C-alpha cells in the first residue's frame, strides 16, 4: 500500500475493535489502531493484572540488574486511557467468541461477573502458557514458572532465605534465570533433557556455553529428565530426582521447559488451527474468519527460511505483526506481515550466543543442500586492546550461495553479526552479497575484514572449488590428516579424535611434500582455520587430488566432539596472533 493509500485509509469509519491480550502483540495492535483511526472504539481485555509489561526483562529484575520494578511496566491502563483513549480492562478473561453475533463473552475475574461485548473486528493475542509437566511434586510450594509480573513477584518472595535452586530446561528463560540466581548468590543446578543447552543450536555452538556455565559454578545435568520433585513435611519442594536416580537439593525449582500456545478460545470458536499448532493466519494476520485476527505466541507466521507457516514465540515478531493487524482492523488496509526469521540471542554470564535463520541440521532437514563454514576470530581488530573471541557458523545453500542462517557465540560482537545476517536473510542475500558488504570499520569497532566477511570468503572458496570444507565433527579415520600448527599449540589443544594426524608446520609444508601421499584424501587443520586454508591451497596446487580444510579447525572440532567440565579458561578460546587471522581469503 502506498503512503497516499495509507493516508486515505487512516481515520475512516468507526469500527469497534476488541483485543484479547494486552501484552506485546495486543498492546501494539491497540496503539497502532488508535494512531491510524481516531474514531475507532478500542477495548483491550487482559486476564492478568498488568498490560504492556517488559516480559523479557523479568529475569533481570530477579537478579537485581534492573532495580526499579516500575521500569518493567511499559504502559498502564490509565496511560492507555489518557493518551490513546483506549479502554483497557485488566483481570478480565474472554471465555467465548460468538462469531455469528460478533460478540465475546467476558468474565471479570475479581467479581465473577460475566457479560458480553460487541465487536466489529477482534484481535486475538492470548500468548502462550508455560508447560508444566505432570510430575509428582510439580504443584508443590517452591516450584515456579516465569511468564508474567505475578510469577516474578512470587519467585522474588520465595528467594528470601533460599540458597539452592534447580532450573529445569536450558532454553532462553532457563539460562537467563540460572544466571540471575547465581548473581543472587544461590547454588544453582540446571537440568536439560537434551544433550546440550539451547537444543536448536548446533552442538559446537552450544559447547562453549556449557563451559561458561560450569565456569560460573552452575552444575549442569544434560541428557536426563526429571523423574519427580521431592517435598518436605511442609509440602514445599526440597529437591529434584532425575531419571537416573541423581538427587539435586533445592529450596526453589524453576520449570522452564517451553510454552504452549493458548489456542483453546480460537478452537472453541471454530477458527482454523495451523499445522504447527498455532492459530492459522493470512498475510494480514487474519484468521479463517476475516473479522478476527491473531498475533503473538498463539499465532502462526510465515517462516522465512522455509516459506511455511509456523509459530515463532518471540517478542519482536509479535510486536511488528500486532502493529500491522491493528492497522488493518482499524482501516481495512495495511502492508503484508513480514516473514519471521527466528533471530534471537541470549546472554550467558560473560558470553552471548544466538541464531538467525536455519542451523545446518535444520536446513538439511528442510531439504536444502546446505553447507556451513566456521570462523573463529576477534570481534574487533586483534591488535586493539580488548579484542574478544567470536565464533560464527554460516549456513548457506550449495550452488546458489543463498544464506540460510547463522549462529554465533562469543564474549562480544554476537548481536552485531546476527543483525547483519538477519538483514541479509530478509532480502534473500547470498554469501557473495555478504562478502561485499561495506561495513563500518575502525579498530575499536571491527576489522577491515569482518568475521562475517571471512565466513563469506571461505564459503565462496568452497563454492568455487578452491578449498572444499569438511565439517568439524567429521570422522577423520580414513583421511590423511595434516596439522600445520606449531608444536606448543598441539600440546595446548590436540586435534580431537585424530591420533593419526601428521604434524607439519605450515612454513615447512612446501619442503616436506614428499612425506605425504598426494593420492589419498587429505584433511588439513590448524587452530582456527586460516592457516589450514593456506595449507590446502598449497597441496591442491602441488598435485594433491582431494584436499579438505577442516572447518573451524581444532577449536571447533573440540567444541563439536568434546564435553568438558572442571577448570575452564577465562576466555572462550586462545587465538593465534592476529597476523594468522588475516590470510583466510
Residues 227-270 pLDDT 10s: 999 999 999 999 999 999 999 999 999 999 999 999 999 999 99
> Going by C-beta distance under 8 Å and a sequence separation of 6 or more, which residues neighbour residue 498?
476, 481, 483, 525, 557
Helix axis angle for 25-36 and 77-84, nearest 10°, is 10
Judged against a pLDDT cut of 70, whether residue 198 lies above it is answered with: yes
- DSSP E strands in 109-236: the ranges are 114-118, 121-124, 128-130, 143-144, 164-168, 187-192, 219-222, 226-231
3 close to 108: Cβ distance less than 8 angstroms: no
- Separation CA 260–CA 362 (nearest Å): 21
Domain definitions of the chain by residue range: 3-127+260-331, 143-257, 350-463, 469-581
Of 132, 126, 233, 251, whose CA–CA distance to 186 is shortest?
251
pLDDT digits (tens, 9 = 90+) for 271-325: 999 999 999 999 999 999 999 999 999 999 999 988 899 999 999 999 999 999 9
pLDDT tens digits for range 324-345: 999 999 999 999 999 999 999 9
What are the grid coordinates assigned to 229, written together?
520433585
Q: How far is CA 574 from the centre of its chain?
A: 26
Q: Tell me if 410 sits within 8 A of 391, measured CB to CB.
A: yes
Rg (CA), the chain: 27
SS3 for 580?
Answer: helix
Distance CA 433, CA 507 (A): 33
Q: How confident is the model at residue 3, as a pLDDT?
A: 37
Those residues with Cβ within 8 angstroms of residue 233's Cβ, 6 or more apart along the chain or in another chain: none
Confidence of residue 59 (pLDDT cuts 50, 70, 90): very high
User: What distance in Å separates the CA atoms of residue 490 and residue 353, rounded to the nearest whole number?
Assistant: 27
Q: What is the DSSP letter of 337?
A: P
Q: Does domain 143-257 have CATH number 3.50.50.60?
A: yes
Any catalytic annotation for residue 85? Answer: no
pLDDT tens per residue, range 169-191: 999 999 999 999 999 999 999 99
pLDDT band at 564 (very low <50, low <70, confident <90, very high): low
Contact 96, 85 (CB under 8 A): no
Same fold yes or no, 3-127+260-331 and 143-257? yes
Task: Read off φ and ψ for residue 192, nearest 5 degrees.
Answer: -140, 130
Q: Please, which contacts does 271-276 make with residues 24 or more away whose CB atoms are closer than 8 Å? A: 274/300, 274/309, 274/310, 275/308, 275/309, 275/310, 276/300, 276/308, 276/309, 276/310, 276/311
Instruction: Encode 136-151 in three state secondary structure.
Output: CCCCCECEECCCCHHH
Q: Quickly tell me which residue has 502493529 as its cell.
A: 323
Whether 524 and 532 have beta carbons less than 8 Å apart is answered as yes
pLDDT at 512 over 80: yes
- Closest to 262 measured CA to CA, from 21, 98, 17: 21
Please enumerate, as own/partner, the contacts of 262-267 that have beta carbons within 8 Å and a separation of 24 or more. 262/126, 262/127, 262/128, 262/129, 262/297, 262/298, 263/126, 263/298, 265/20, 265/94, 265/95, 265/96, 265/97, 265/124, 265/126, 266/97, 266/124, 266/294, 266/298
pLDDT tens digit string along 203-223?
999 999 999 999 999 999 999
Q: How far apart are CA 551 and CA 474, in angstroms?
A: 10
* 93 DSSP β-pair partners: 107
Q: What whole-number distance in Å separates Cα of residue 82 and Cα of residue 289? A: 32
When the candidates are 3.30.9.10, 3.40.50.300, 3.40.250.10, 3.40.50.2300, the CATH number that belongs to 469-581 is 3.40.250.10
State in words which class domain 350-463 has.
alpha beta
Residues 437-475 as b or e (16 or more Cβ within 10 Å = b) = eeeeeeeeebbebbbbbbbbbbbbbbbeeebbbbbbbbe
Q: Report the pLDDT averaged over residues 135-145.
A: 95
Lowest mean pLDDT segment, chosen from 10-19, 30-39, 186-195? 10-19
**pLDDT-derived band at 12, boundaries 50, 70, 90:** low
Q: Which residues lie closer than 8 Å to 34 by C-beta, 6 or more apart?
A: 40, 42, 84, 85, 86, 330
Q: Is the pLDDT of residue 499 over 60?
A: yes
CA atoms within 13 A on the CB side of 52: 18
Residue 11's pLDDT is what? 46
- The pLDDT of residue 13: 78
Helix axes 414-426, 451-463, angle to 10 degrees: 50
| Three cell numbers, residue 312 | 515463532
Among the CATH numbers 1.10.3720.10, 3.50.50.60, 3.40.50.1400, 3.30.450.80, which is that of 3-127+260-331?
Answer: 3.50.50.60
Torsion angle, CA of 149/150/156/162, rounded to 10 degrees?
Answer: -140
pLDDT exceeds cutoff 60 at 573: no
| Confidence band for 585, pLDDT divided at 50, 70 and 90 | very low
* Residue 402 or 573, more confident: 402
User: Is 50 exceeded by the pLDDT of residue 569?
Assistant: no
Residue 581 banded pLDDT, cuts 50, 70, 90: very low
Average pLDDT, the chain: 92
Helical packing angle, 172-183 and 203-215, nearest 10°:
20
Spatial contact of 133 and 147, defined as CB atoms under 8 Å apart: no
Q: pLDDT tens for residues 39-50?
A: 999 999 999 999
Chain segment 439-468, per-residue pLDDT in tens: 999 999 999 999 999 999 999 999 999 989
Among residues 558, 553, 551, which one has the least CA distance to residue 572? Answer: 558
220 bridge partner residues = 190
Residues whose CB falls within 8 Å of the CB of residue 8, separated by 6 or more in sequence, listed in order: none
Amino acid at each position: 500500500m502506498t503512503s497516499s493509500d495509507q493516508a486515505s485509509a487512516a481515520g475512516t469509519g468507526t469500527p469497534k475493535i476488541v483485543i484479547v491480550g494486552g501484552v506485546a502483540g495486543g498492546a501494539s495492535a491497540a496503539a497502532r489502531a488508535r494512531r491510524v483511526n481516531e474514531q475507532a472504539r478500542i477495548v483491550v481485555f487482559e486476564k492478568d493484572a498488568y498490560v504492556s509489561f517488559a516480559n523479557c526483562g523479568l529475569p533481570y529484575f530477579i537478579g537485581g540488574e534492573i532495580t526499579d520494578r516500575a521500569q518493567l511496566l511499559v504502559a498502564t491502563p490509565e496511560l492507555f486511557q489518557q493518551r490513546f483513549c483506549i479502554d483497557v480492562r485488566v483481570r478480565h478473561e474472554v471465555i467465548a467468541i460468538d462469531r455469528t453475533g460478533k460478540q465475546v463473552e467476558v468474565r471479570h475475574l475479581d467479581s465473577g461477573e460475566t457479560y458480553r461485548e460487541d465487536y466489529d473486528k477482534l484481535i486475538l493475542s492470548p500468548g502462550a502458557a508455560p508447560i508444566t509437566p505432570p510430575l509428582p511434586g510439580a504443584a508443590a510450594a517452591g516450584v515456579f514458572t516465569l511468564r508474567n509480573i505475578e510469577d516474578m513477584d512470587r519467585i522474588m518472595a520465595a528467594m528470601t532465605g533460599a540458597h539452592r535452586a534447580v532450573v529445569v530446561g536450558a532454553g532462553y528463560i532457563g539460562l537467563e534465570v540460572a544466571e540471575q540466581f547465581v548473581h543472587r548468590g544461590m547454588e544453582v543446578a540446571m537440568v536439560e533433557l537434551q544433550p546440550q543447552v539451547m537444543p536448536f543450536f548446533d552442538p559446537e555452538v552450544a559447547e562453549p556455553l556449557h563451559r561458561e556455565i560450569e565456569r560460573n559454578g552452575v552444575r549442569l545435568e544434560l541428557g536426563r529428565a526429571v523423574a519427580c520433585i521431592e517435598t518436605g513435611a511442609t509440602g514445599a519442594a526440597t529437591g529434584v530426582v532425575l531419571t537416573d536416580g541423581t538427587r539435586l537439593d533445592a529450596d526453589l525449582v524453576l520449570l522452564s521447559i517451553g510454552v504452549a500456545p493458548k489456542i483453546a478460545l480460537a478452537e472453541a470458536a471454530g477458527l482454523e488451527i495451523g499445522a504447527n499448532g498455532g492459530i492459522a493466519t493470512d498475510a494480514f494476520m487474519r484468521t479463517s474468519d476475516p473479522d478476527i485476527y491473531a498475533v503473538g505466541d498463539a499465532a502462526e507466521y510465515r517462516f522465512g527460511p522455509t516459506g511455511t507457516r509456523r509459530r515463532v514465540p518471540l517478542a519482536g515478531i509479535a510486536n511488528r505483526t500486532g502493529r500491522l493487524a491493528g492497522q488493518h482492523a482499524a482501516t481495512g488496509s495495511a502492508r503484508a506481515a513480514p516473514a519471521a526469521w527466528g533471530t534471537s540471542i541470549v546472554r550467558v554470564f560473560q558470553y552471548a550466543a544466538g541464531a538467525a535463520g536455519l542451523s545446518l541440521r535444520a536446513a538439511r532437514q528442510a531439504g536444502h543442500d546446505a553447507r556451513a563454514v566456521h570462523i573463529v576470530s576477534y570481534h574487533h581488530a586483534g591488535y586493539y586492546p580488548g579484542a574478544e573471541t567470536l565464533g560464527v557458523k554460516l549456513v548457506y545453500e550449495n550452488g546458489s550461495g543463498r544464506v540460510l542462517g547463522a549462529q554465533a557465540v562469543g564474549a562480544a560482537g554476537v548481536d552485531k553479526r546476527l543483525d547483519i545476517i538477519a538483514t541479509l536473510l530478509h532480502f534473500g542475500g547470498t554469501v557473495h552479497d555478504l562478502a561485499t558488504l561495506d561495513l563500518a570499520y575502525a579498530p575499536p569497532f571491527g576489522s577491515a575484514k569482518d568475521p562475517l566477511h571471512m565466513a563469506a570468503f571461505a564459503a565462496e572458496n568452497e563454492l568455487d572449488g578452491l578449498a572444499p570444507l569438511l565439517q568439524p565433527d567429521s570422522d577423520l579415520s580414513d583421511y590423511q590428516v595434516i596439522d600445520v600448527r606449531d608444536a606448543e599449540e598441539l600440546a595446548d589443544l590436540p586435534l580431537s579424535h585424530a591420533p593419526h594426524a601428521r604434524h607439519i608446520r605450515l612454513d615447512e609444508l612446501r619442503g616436506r611434500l614428499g612425506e605425504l601421499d598426494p593420492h589419498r584424501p587429505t584433511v588439513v587443520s590448524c587452530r582456527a582455520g586460516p592457516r589450514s586454508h593456506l595449507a590446502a591451497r598449497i597441496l591442491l596446487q602441488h598435485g594433491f587430488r582431494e584436499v579438505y580444510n577442516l572447518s573451524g579447525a581444532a577449536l571447533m572440532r573440540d567444541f563439536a566432539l568434546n564435553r568438558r567440565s572442571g577448570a575452564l579458561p577465562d576466555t572462550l578460546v586462545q587465538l593465534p596472533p592476529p597476523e594468522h587471522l588475516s590470510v583466510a581469503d
